């Protein structure tokens, strides 16, 4: 009897999964909604009577329990990079030219895909079973959203077919169809709930729910488009990979196309832009990707984006509006930005009420005045900006605007324009907006990641004189917090805990958190390797030492020198360390083995890409240069090495191939 029921359960499960596959992957549904619902209900009722037969991968188990303790963070096994942009056709041609030059070939095959305006996700399958789904996060660490991704019927809980790799990571984009977004907002408006500004925000809000029941009610879609980390797959090209994804049951964008010349790429891009409105989901451009994986690995990556792909963006959308006022904002570095307050307009579903004017030069160049009519432009996630003044419509009551007539909007100090810079700055070290901005930055997610220290709490702690600088955070006590308005036993404890947890940190987080002008996350990582995770060492480097680091230019070097020259900054650092900030050195395992050795890398490699090899060599203290010179000690060669190999041979430089390399770096 039991085996009969078991069989029936399996049969129903297979039918439901088959339907999902036909619907989401093949786009050829063979069941009506009612037929599908009947199968689902039948399965539910069988499982209800026989709970011991419920499989965790059953379609009925997609919606699980709410998660209680917030999202858990996981490191991505390979960073989730972003794409660099081409903003016009010329830049598409430039991309192709760069690729051909680098690969030393006449032409390259590409795959073109729509660039979906959703959010990147990583799906991890072990032996064919979905085990985890992560958001992109900062590209290195993402949040565990498995409970919500499971509610999306288009994502198979078990992959089709057999012999799946024991580890397979797939990357794709979660999005909401325009029609589902409109319906969702209609319902929210009927229920007097806040509307989502656009489909992307609605999708993002839906995957970041603690309760999967909420996500399950939102209709989310997915297209998969890249391989992340995997073991035991032998796929040689992107095109092959896309058809592999389809074969194992993952939805792939049917508009993906193989392109064999850059001219056809430009046509694909124009075509897509023309039919943008009729595509059922939001797209903001096309993506061009090198097809061949070996060539991709030869091209490698820049800091945040691969060299083998580019996002060709559509022209941004404009809307007409009127400038009602111009106000000033002061950022954490003291830069004063003029912002136009505009009559509200809608662009691609988002309501815009202010737009940046960048700086006084921009205002002067475009003769932007209060009360002028203007076009406001918004592209992607970028802050909206005033792109044009409609002079024909200029009213009589326009008012010119000059930042020089104003003081700092936060502390009222005189503001000054530093020679050679477009921006005005507030130089007052104690300016509240600057201090508050720097503390908010210090606590932010990609910096010290102190949960619970958002804008309002930082302001409250400053107003209560509990903090005036970042180091004060580490002297806060439960007793000082619990007496404050809005704080209770639990919230005071939580904050103290979050601060305690943040004390154990890494060099890149801490250095980025300090908010040294021009030192972002990427530069902080470069400095980490160079300084072997020692902030002390960083503080002793000279301008020349800093400039000699690959990836650090004069401006960054000077900012670092200026930062450490300030006695109050040194004081802040000392206090942080005496109050328990501890820089973890695990990130860096320098053996110093290759100290003072210079390497050049050329060709394509099977197991590592060039950037990874570069990092491995640098971790051991080596120096990696771009061109062969008499100073080069070793040339690392992969397949298809070109002129560099000849030059190295001529200069009698030691040559290391991929097999030798493995021994060399391990």
The DSSP 8-state label assigned to residue 249 in this structure reads: T
Residue with tokens 């061009």: 288
**Nearest-approach distance from CB 228 to ligand IVH, in angstroms:** 10
Piece of the chain touching ligand IVH by CB under 6 A; list 50-58, 112-120, 127-135, 197-205: 112-120
Closest CA to 337 of 431, 408, 429, 414: 408
Task: Work out whether 309 is an interface residue with ligand IVH (CB under 6 A).
Answer: yes
Residue number, 272 or 613, with CB nearest to ligand IVH = 272
**Nearest-approach distance from CB 148 to ligand IVH, in angstroms:** 17
Which residue out of 4, 101, 115, 385 is catalytically annotated?
115
Piece of the chain touching ligand IVH by CB under 6 A; list 29-37, 77-85, 95-103, 141-149: 77-85
What is the rounded distance in angstroms from the CA atom of residue 603 to the CA atom of residue 102?
10
Burial zone of 165 (CB within 10 Å; 0-12 exposed, 13-18 middle, 19+ buried): middle
Q: For residues 14 and 6, is the Cβ–Cβ distance under 8 A?
A: no
**Nearest-approach distance from CB 459 to ligand IVH, in angstroms:** 32
Q: For residues 113 and 256, is the Cβ–Cβ distance under 8 A?
A: yes
| DSSP, residue by residue, 405-443 | G-B-TTT--BEEE-TT-S-EEE--TT-HHHHHHHHHHHH
Piece of the chain touching ligand IVH by CB under 6 A; list 76-84, 425-433, 440-448, 520-528: 76-84
Max Cα distance, the chain (Å):
88
Residue number, 173 or 180, with CB nearest to ligand IVH = 173
What is the rounded distance in angstroms from the CA atom of residue 12 to the CA atom of residue 41?
10
Residue of this chain nearest to ligand IVH (CB atom): 120
Interacting residue with ligand IVH among 19, 62, 76, 115 (CB under 6 A): 115
Task: Work out whether 47 is an interface residue with ligand IVH (CB under 6 A).
Answer: no
**Nearest-approach distance from CB 152 to ligand IVH, in angstroms:** 16
Residue number, 47 or 226, with CB nearest to ligand IVH = 226
Interacting residue with ligand IVH among 20, 96, 111, 120 (CB under 6 A): 120
Closest CA to 354 of 363, 362, 345: 345
Burial zone of 324 (CB within 10 Å; 0-12 exposed, 13-18 middle, 19+ buried): middle
What is the rounded distance in angstroms from the CA atom of residue 377 to the CA atom of residue 525?
34
Piece of the chain touching ligand IVH by CB under 6 A; list 32-40, 75-83, 93-101, 334-342: 75-83
Query: In the window 129-168, what residues touch ligand IVH (CB under 6 A)?
Result: 136
Pairing of strands 85-86, 73-75: unpaired
Residue number, 249 or 306, with CB nearest to ligand IVH = 306
Cα-only R_g, the chain? 28
Q: For residues 588 and 533, is the Cβ–Cβ distance under 8 A?
A: yes
Interacting residue with ligand IVH among 220, 222, 227, 287 (CB under 6 A): 287
**Nearest-approach distance from CB 173 to ligand IVH, in angstroms:** 5
Q: How many CB atoms lie within 10 A of CB 49?
A: 8
Residue number, 306 or 638, with CB nearest to ligand IVH = 306
Residue number, 300 or 437, with CB nearest to ligand IVH = 300
Residue number, 306 or 603, with CB nearest to ligand IVH = 306
Backbone dihedral region of 651: left (phi > 0), alpha (psi from -120 to 50 degrees) or beta? Answer: alpha
Report H helices in 83-131: 89-103
Task: Work out whether 474 is an interface residue with ligand IVH (CB under 6 A).
Answer: no
Q: For residues 407 and 414, is the Cβ–Cβ distance under 8 A?
A: yes
Q: For residues 474 and 498, is the Cβ–Cβ distance under 8 A?
A: no
**Nearest-approach distance from CB 154 to ligand IVH, in angstroms:** 16
Task: Work out whether 83 is an interface residue with ligand IVH (CB under 6 A).
Answer: yes
Residue number, 547 or 615, with CB nearest to ligand IVH = 615
**Nearest-approach distance from CB 288 to ligand IVH, in angstroms:** 10
Beta bridge partners of 341: 325, 354
Task: Work out whether 173 is an interface residue with ligand IVH (CB under 6 A).
Answer: yes
Residue number, 81 or 355, with CB nearest to ligand IVH = 81
Pairing of strands 257-259, 350-356: unpaired
Task: Work out whether 238 is an interface residue with ligand IVH (CB under 6 A).
Answer: no
Q: How many CB atoms lie within 10 A of CB 615?
A: 15
For the question of residue 614 being annotated catalytic, the response is: no
Task: Work out whether 306 is an interface residue with ligand IVH (CB under 6 A).
Answer: yes
Whole-number Cα distances in Å, 95 to 90, 166, 264, 290? 9, 36, 14, 11
Piece of the chain touching ligand IVH by CB under 6 A; list 111-119, 370-378, 536-544, 552-560: 111-119
Task: Work out whether 635 is an interface residue with ligand IVH (CB under 6 A).
Answer: no
Interacting residue with ligand IVH among 21, 24, 181, 225 (CB under 6 A): 225
The tokens of 102 are what? 């680098």
Q: For residues 6 and 53, is the Cβ–Cβ distance under 8 A?
A: yes
Burial zone of 555 (CB within 10 Å; 0-12 exposed, 13-18 middle, 19+ buried): exposed
Piece of the chain touching ligand IVH by CB under 6 A; list 47-55, 303-311, 447-455, 636-644: 303-311
With CB under 6 A as the rule, give the number of residues binding ligand IVH. 15
Q: How many CB atoms lie within 10 A of CB 113?
A: 26
Closest CA to 572 of 542, 525, 539, 613: 539
The count of C-alpha atoms lying within 13 angstroms of the C-alpha of 367, restricted to the half-sphere facing its C-beta, is 5
Q: For residues 644 and 635, is the Cβ–Cβ distance under 8 A?
A: yes
Residue number, 312 or 450, with CB nearest to ligand IVH = 312
**Nearest-approach distance from CB 285 to ligand IVH, in angstroms:** 8
Interacting residue with ligand IVH among 50, 57, 73, 82 (CB under 6 A): 82
Piece of the chain touching ligand IVH by CB under 6 A; list 56-64, 113-121, 542-550, 617-625: 113-121
The tokens of 457 are what? 């709490």
What is the rounded distance in angstroms from the CA atom of residue 470 to the CA atom of residue 484?
19
Interacting residue with ligand IVH among 180, 226, 291, 528 (CB under 6 A): 226
Residue with tokens 């430009």: 266
Residue number, 113 or 180, with CB nearest to ligand IVH = 113
**Nearest-approach distance from CB 172 to ligand IVH, in angstroms:** 8
Task: Work out whether 116 is an interface residue with ligand IVH (CB under 6 A).
Answer: yes
Task: Work out whether 581 is an interface residue with ligand IVH (CB under 6 A).
Answer: no
Can you say whether the dihedral through the CA atoms of 233, 234, 237, 241 is positive or negative? negative
**Nearest-approach distance from CB 198 to ligand IVH, in angstroms:** 15
Task: Work out whether 251 is an interface residue with ligand IVH (CB under 6 A).
Answer: no
Residue number, 81 or 665, with CB nearest to ligand IVH = 81
Interacting residue with ligand IVH among 81, 376, 453, 526 (CB under 6 A): 81
Interacting residue with ligand IVH among 47, 113, 282, 372 (CB under 6 A): 113
What is the rounded distance in angstroms from the CA atom of residue 136 to the CA atom of residue 120?
6
**Nearest-approach distance from CB 311 to ligand IVH, in angstroms:** 6
Task: Report the interface residues with ligand IVH, using CB under 6 A.
Answer: 81-83, 113, 115-116, 120, 136, 173, 225-226, 287, 306, 309, 311
Q: Point out the residues that are catalytic.
A: 115
């Amino acid at each position: 009897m039991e085996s009969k029921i078991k069989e029936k359960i399996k049969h129903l499960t297979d039918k439901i999964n088959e339907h999902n596959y036909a619907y989401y992957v093949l786009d050829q549904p063979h069941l009506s909604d009612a037929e599908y619902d009947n199968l689902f209900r039948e399965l539910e009722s069988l499982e209800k009577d026989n709970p011991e037969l419920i499989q965790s991968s059953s379609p009925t188990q997609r919606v699980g329990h709410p998660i209680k303790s917030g999202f858990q963070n996981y490191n991505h096994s390979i960073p989730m990079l972003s794409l660099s942009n081409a903003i016009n056709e010329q830049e598409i041609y430039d991309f192709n030219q760069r690729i051909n030059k680098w690969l030393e070939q006449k032409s390259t095959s590409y795959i073109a895909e729509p660039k979906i305006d959703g959010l990147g996700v990583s799906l991890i399958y072990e032996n064919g079973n979905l085990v985890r789904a992560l958001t992109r996060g900062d590209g290195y660490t993402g949040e565990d959203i498995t409970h919500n991704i499971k509610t999306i019927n288009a994502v198979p809980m078990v992959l089709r077919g057999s012999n799946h790799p024991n580890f397979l990571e797939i990357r794709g984009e979660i999005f909401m169809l325009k029609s589902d977004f409109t319906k969702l907002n209609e319902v929210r408006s009927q229920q007097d709930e806040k509307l989502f500004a656009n489909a992307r925000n609605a999708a993002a809000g839906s995957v970041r729910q603690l309760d999967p029941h909420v996500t399950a009610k939102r209709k989310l879609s997915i297209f998969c488009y890249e391989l992340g980390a995997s073991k035991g797959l032998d796929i040689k090209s992107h095109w092959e990979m896309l058809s592999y994804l389809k074969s194992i049951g993952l939805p792939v964008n049917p508009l993906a196309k193989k392109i064999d010349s850059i001219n056809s790429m430009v046509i694909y891009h124009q075509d897509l832009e023309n039919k943008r409105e009729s595509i059922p989901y939001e797209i903001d451009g096309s993506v061009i990707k090198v097809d061949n994986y070996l060539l991709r690995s030869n091209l490698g990556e820049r800091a945040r984006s691969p060299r083998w792909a580019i996002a060709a963006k559509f022209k941004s959308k404009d809307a007409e509006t009127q400038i009602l006022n111009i106000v000033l904002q002061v950022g954490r570095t003291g830069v004063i930005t003029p912002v136009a307050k505009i009559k509200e307009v809608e662009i691609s579903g988002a309501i815009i009420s202010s737009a940046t004017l960048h700086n006084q030069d921009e205002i002067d160049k475009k003769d932007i005045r209060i009360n002028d009519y203007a076009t406001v432009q918004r592209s992607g996630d970028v802050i909206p900006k005033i792109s044009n003044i409609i002079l024909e419509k200029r009213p009589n009551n326009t008012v010119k605007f000059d930042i020089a007539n104003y003081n700092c909007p936060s502390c009222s100090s005189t503001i000054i324009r530093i020679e050679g810079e477009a921006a005005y700055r507030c130089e007052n070290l104690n300016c509240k907006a600057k201090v508050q901005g720097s503390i908010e930055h210090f606590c932010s997610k990609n910096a010290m990641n102190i949960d619970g220290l958002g804008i309002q709490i930082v302001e409250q702690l400053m107003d209560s004189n509990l903090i005036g600088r970042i180091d004060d955070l580490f002297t806060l006590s439960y007793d000082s917090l619990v007496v404050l308005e809005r704080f209770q036993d639990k919230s005071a404890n939580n904050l103290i805990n979050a601060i305690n947890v943040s004390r154990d940190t890494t060099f890149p987080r801490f250095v980025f958190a300090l908010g040294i002008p021009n030192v972002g996350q990427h530069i902080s990582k470069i400095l980490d390797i160079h300084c072997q995770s020692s902030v002390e060492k960083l503080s002793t480097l000279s301008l020349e030492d800093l400039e000699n680091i690959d990836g650090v230019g004069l401006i960054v070097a000077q900012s670092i020198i200026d930062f450490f020259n300030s006695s109050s900054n040194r004081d802040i650092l000392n206090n942080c360390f005496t109050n328990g900030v501890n820089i973890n050195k695990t990130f860096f395992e320098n053996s110093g083995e290759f100290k003072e050795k210079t390497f050049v890398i050329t060709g394509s490699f099977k197991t590592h890409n060039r950037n990874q090899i570069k990092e491995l060599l640098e971790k051991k203290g080596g120096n990696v240069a771009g061109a062969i010179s008499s100073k080069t000690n070793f040339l690392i060669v992969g397949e298809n090495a070109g002129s560099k190999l000849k030059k190295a041979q001529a200069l009698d430089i030691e040559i290391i191939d991929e097999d030798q390399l493995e021994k060399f770096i391990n």
